[in-house]
Amino acid sequence: MDYSNQKGYIFYDGDLVKWSDAQLHVLSHGLHYASSVFEGERAYKGRVFKEIEHTKRLIYSAKSLDFEIPYSENEIIEIRKKVLEANDIVDGYIRPVAWRGSEMMGISAQSNKIHFALAAWQWPSYFSPEAKLKGIKLNISKWKRPDPETAPVNTKSAGLYMICTLSKHEAERKGFDDSLMLDYRNYIAEATGANIFFVKGNSLYTPIADCFLDGITRKTVIKIAKEEGISVSETRIKIEDLNNYDECFVTGTAAEVTPVNTIADFKFKPGKICEFFIKKYTEMTLTE
Ligand code: PMP
């Protein structure tokens, strides 16, 4: 598998191009200085889940990096539709990306062209609820989510993922599936590409999203909980508090609702609350 060489079409700066032709120059600002933003979205049975929210977040991420995507919200929605149709995708993953080009090569990039591409590939829901309920194992990373005064923390911008890749590599080398990341104050923040929830009794607890991505799935889970009369506290959680919780799960467009059975030496038993949210979230992706 090589993502640069698949069959199909990618939207690239105005046109649908052959997949392997969607290339960029090595002197692109986006590559050298991480002036790049992206989204991770999913289509379920032909419909893009939370399409407007993802589109708005992409535009917001670009604005936060001081550039503007050269397409409107509606145009991006049209482009996405075209790409899904051209590649015959019903259940898939969608990756829009915007980045600064090569007109200036230095820190300043005032007049660089903004490029935009959108790719999509087949991605069926592989895991049955039973398989998911086994849970995943998280390491605890030494890398910390930064202070909001250090970086635009509530964006999906490439630069923020440097520490996520480092954390995930370390976790995988040690036999974990992923890593929990603390924030700059040592509060629990999130996983490398997903938000985190804890369960005590029938209540949910999740870190306050003040220095990391307030995920669309996170917001969806909070909404489901409120509709179902399950209390949710957005609160400060420390490592030593982990003994207090019975269940734990992560949420994200790719992860959906994935139970966690281990964080370092702490154990959790995926149970009825994990099961409930897996079921409800899945229903929502297929009906909303
Ligand atoms: N945090 C990070 C760092 C992520 O990359 C993601 C995935 N986009 C999430 C949280 C979850 O966000 P969402 O639910 O919007 O996919």
Quick one: pLDDT at residue 288?
A: 84
- Ligand 1 cavity residues, CB under 6 Å: 40, 156, 190, 193-195, 213, 215-218, 251-253
| CA-based nearest residue to 91, from 48, 54, 128, 133 | 48
- Whether the pLDDT of residue 226 is over 80: the answer is yes
- For residue 165, report the distance from its CA to the centre of ligand 1, in Å: 14
Q: Sign (positive/negative) of CA torsion 82, 86, 92, 97?
A: negative
Catalytic residue check, 168: no
Contact 253, 242 (CB under 8 A): no
- For residue 96, report the distance from its CA to the centre of ligand 1, in Å: 14
Residue 244: beta bridge partners?
none
Q: Sign (positive/negative) of CA torsion 225, 124, 258, 81?
A: negative
The crossing angle, in degrees rounded to 10, of helices 216-227 and 272-287 is: 110
How far is 202 from 181, CA to CA, in rounded Å? 25
pLDDT tens for each residue of 123-148: 977 677 777 889 999 999 999 999 99
* Mutational test site, ligand 1, from 50, 54, 155, 156, max ligand atoms within 8 Å of CB: 156
Quick one: pLDDT at residue 107?
A: 97
Which atom in ligand 1 lies closest to the alpha carbon of residue 218?
Answer: 14
pLDDT tens for each residue of 183-213: 999 999 999 999 999 999 999 999 999 999 9
pLDDT tens for each residue of 6-58: 999 999 999 999 999 999 999 999 999 999 999 999 999 999 999 999 999 99
* Mutational test site, ligand 1, from 38, 53, 253, max ligand atoms within 8 Å of CB: 253
Q: Where are the beta strands (DSSP E) in the chain?
A: 9-12, 15-18, 36-38, 41-44, 47-48, 92-100, 114-122, 136-145, 178-183, 188-191, 195-200, 203-207, 232-235, 247-252, 256-263, 266-267
Residue with the nearest Cα to atom 12 of ligand 1?
A: 215
Quick one: pLDDT at residue 126?
A: 64
Quick one: pLDDT at residue 23?
A: 97
Contact 157, 64 (CB under 8 A): yes
Identified catalytic residue from 7, 18, 45, 156 = 156
pLDDT tens for each residue of 232-287: 999 999 999 999 999 999 999 999 999 999 999 999 999 999 999 999 999 999 99
- For residue 194, report the distance from its CA to the centre of ligand 1, in Å: 5
Residue 188: beta bridge partners?
182
pLDDT tens for each residue of 162-181: 999 999 999 999 999 999 99
With bands split at pLDDT 50, 70 and 90, how would you rate the model's confidence at 1? confident
| CA-based nearest residue to 50, from 207, 227, 223, 178 | 223
- For residue 111, report the distance from its CA to the centre of ligand 1, in Å: 30
pLDDT tens for each residue of 68-98: 999 999 999 999 999 999 999 999 999 999 9
pTM over 0.85: yes
